[in-house]
Structure 1
Amino acid sequence: MPATDDAEPRFITRAGFANVRAEYEQLFGSERPKLVETISWAAGNGDRSENGDYIYGKKRLREIDRRLSWLARVMKAARVVDPSAQEDRGVVRFGATVELADEQDERRTVTIVGEDESDASAGRIGWNTPVARALRGARVGDERMVTLPAGERSYEILAITYPAG
């Protein structure tokens, strides 16, 4: 889970916010009540020190409560941005899908999304990652240097698209 920083808004797409809300509602409305019922049943079975259902249930309940707390903070701090409303579609901003080529002409497509919805394996990179920071404000044909743990890399912007409104 990324840390929350209350000083900076947490940009997120509508879809990302909907996913956070759905997870919260599923945990709070379904999974947590079932778990409380299981723990209550297990507690009524006597010795709790060797009661696996009770011990596991309490541990899982703490995990769920931590996750619910984190999801609530994300929703409270979220600033929902609609990438399809981007007026200047020729510039890389939040929500842009960018096709890049590195020095070896290896191509890669990334979509810049909120930190809470990023998934690098699916090509969704967080707004504050080194690559996204380097791409902000770029236009097609621009070249940007990115400092990565493996060293510096140069990327050329081949295409910029935004979702349809």
Structure 2
Amino acid sequence: MADRAPRFITPQGFARIRSEYEQMFGTERPKLVDTIAWAAGNGDRSENGDYIYGRKRLREIDRRLSYLAKVMKSAKLVDPATQEQRDTIRFGATVELADENDERRTLTLVGEDEADASAGRISWVAPIARALVGARVGDERIVRLPAGEKSYEVMRISYPD
């Protein structure tokens, strides 16, 4: 794991992860423990759906809590608002791209743990992000995707204030 890239994350992404951790640990898990204790008091556990499901869900929650704790511990907070070189694409940049057909898409380069492609947040280590890092407005980048190569022109770069 020594070769692993740093686990960069934006302050917003870190806040989302912390919020999920606190909600699970402070609310969801205690309620589930109460349900399991109640179900266990109802006798035969082998056919007790509340007990069986509760134990299974508790294991899922504990795994997720462990993962979230690991992410928070190893996270390197990078605030894109402090980026000094705002004319090049770096971590945290929001980028508008145009492909060969002038179809536009907007992406924000974020940490692996906060990526959500459907929301336009892509991991900074994704192939398209790696191809874009260092580019400026007007630059063209060729991205190797599973469907083949695709060319994008950088139309706009912005960072949060």
Aligned to 1:147: 144
| Residues 7-18 of structure 1 mapped to structure 2, 5 A cutoff | 7-18=4-15
- What secondary structure sits across from 2:20 in the alignment? helix
Are 2:80 and 1:83 equivalent residues in the alignment?
yes
Q: Which amino acid aligns with 1:135?
A: L
Q: Which amino acid aligns with 1:121?
A: S
Aligned to 1:47: 44
Aligned to 1:115: 112
Percent same amino acid at aligned positions?
74
- After superposing on structure 2, the runs of 4+ consecutive aligned residues of structure 1 that deviate more than 6 Å are none
Structure 2: distance between partners of 1:114 and 1:8: 11
1:88-147: per-residue Cα shift (whole Å, max 9, x none)? 100000000001011111111101111111111111111110110000000011100100
Structure 2: distance between partners of 1:41 and 1:101: 57
Aligned to 1:100: 97
Q: Which runs of 5+ in 1 are unaligned?
A: none
Are 2:66 and 1:61 equivalent residues in the alignment?
no
Superposed displacement of residue 8, structure 1: 2.3
1:32-64: per-residue Cα shift (whole Å, max 9, x none)? 011011101100110000001000000000000
Structure 2: distance between partners of 1:32 and 1:122: 28
Aligned to 2:121: 124
- What secondary structure sits across from 1:155 in the alignment? strand
Q: 2:21 aligns with which of 19, 24, 39?
A: 24
TM-score (norm 1): 0.95
Q: Which amino acid aligns with 2:63?
A: R
- What secondary structure sits across from 2:113 in the alignment? helix
Structure 2: distance between partners of 1:122 and 1:25: 23
- What secondary structure sits across from 1:41 in the alignment? helix
